[in-house]
Amino acid sequence: MKISQGIEIPDSLPALFLSRHKALVIADLHIGYEAALREKGIHMPDSSYPLIKRTIDCLLKSTGATQIIILGDLKHEFGKPSAQEWIEVMDLLEYLSVSKKEVHVVRGNHDNLINRILSRYDVTLHERSMLMGTIFLAHGDKVFTVPERVRTIITAHEHPAVISRDKSGSRYKFKCFLIGKIGKKRLIVMPALSPLSSGVGINEAEREALLSPLLRETDIDSFVPIVVEEDVGIFKFPSIGAMRQLNSQAERLLR
């Protein structure tokens, strides 16, 4: 699905392809999340990384991308990488190196000390943001200054999703892109690639509760969610404001 000239969502997956630059953009992989859960007493198998790697492989093959941009939170731990993170991040970077892909990482709030791993490979770490022509890319956890010539801003961090209800009142959550405007510039907020990060229901969250400082300052109700469901499709939903109204009506009917 084409979002704008030169920017598209490939294969109904939480990624973007910048066709003019042959660049694949993904975000919020949170590799090592299972190890962090185990520290909290929640035990589950290390199952997310194989899915992440398979998804990236499919995306690279289907798009023909020559470079990949990881838009923050490559790993999950805030501090020193865990053993799981060392193993899985290095495996991913080795795979990308063998595939001869140019790799860029824009630092996210979980990526402290990430350079200990990246320095072993020919990976460029961007501390705050990255500029590709008229496209500005940042993780989204901090306020940033955008050059005047930029037309499109791409961020992550928020893990956006929307919540929908059926006639019985059952709730369903879907990962989504958020598309809106900041002044005259288009803003695209990416969903998390991690299969363990189901996302924040934007249409049920108060503006003050949003993670991104940029989104807290916008008219989030005017943004349009584009839901992605692998092997199902890409779906454009009503605006966040319209979905809030529908949810309110549904709640009144169910009382």
pLDDT digits (tens, 9 = 90+) for 130-189: 999 999 999 999 999 999 999 999 999 999 999 987 777 778 899 999 999 999 999 999
Query: In this predicted model, which residue has the larger pLDDT, 224 or 167?
Result: 224
Per-residue pLDDT at 67 exceeds 80: yes
Q: Give pLDDT, residue 160.
A: 97
Q: Give residue 89's domain range.
A: 2-254
pLDDT category at 66 given cuts 50, 70, 90 is very high
The whole-angstrom separation of Cα 52 and Cα 239 is 29
The whole-angstrom separation of Cα 135 and Cα 138 is 10
Q: Give pLDDT, residue 156.
A: 97
CATH label of the domain that carries residue 49 = 3.60.21
- Domains in the chain, number: 1
Structure tokens at 172: 């369903």
Structure tokens at 126: 């961007």
Buried b (16+ CB within 10 A) or exposed e, 158-183: bbbbbbbeeeeeeeeebbbbbbbeee
Per-residue pLDDT at 36 exceeds 80: no
Q: Give pLDDT, residue 231.
A: 87
Q: Give pLDDT, residue 115.
A: 87
Query: In this predicted model, which residue has the larger pLDDT, 198 or 133?
Result: 133
Task: Write the single-letter amino acid at 57.
Answer: D
pLDDT-above-90 percentage for the chain:
71
Residue 197, Cα to own-chain centre: how many angstroms? 10
Q: Give pLDDT, residue 202.
A: 95
Residue from 46, 48, 22, 23 nearest 193 by CA? 48
Q: What is the mean pLDDT of residues 19-23?
A: 97
Residue from 85, 50, 76 nearest 159 by CA? 76
Q: Give pLDDT, residue 80.
A: 80
Query: In this predicted model, which residue has the larger pLDDT, 12 or 82?
Result: 12
DSSP output for 178-239: EEEEETTEEEEEPPP--TT---EEGGGS-GGG-S-HHHHTS-GGG-EEEEEETTTEEEEPPP
Q: Give pLDDT, residue 47.
A: 78
The whole-angstrom separation of Cα 57 and Cα 9 is 16
Per-residue pLDDT at 71 exceeds 90: yes
Q: What is the mean pLDDT of residues 89-113?
A: 94
Per-residue pLDDT at 249 exceeds 90: no
Q: Give pLDDT, residue 251.
A: 64
Q: Give pLDDT, residue 98.
A: 94
Q: Please say whether the dihedral angle defined by the alpha carbons of residues 39, 113, 159 and 97, taken in this order, is positive or negative.
A: negative
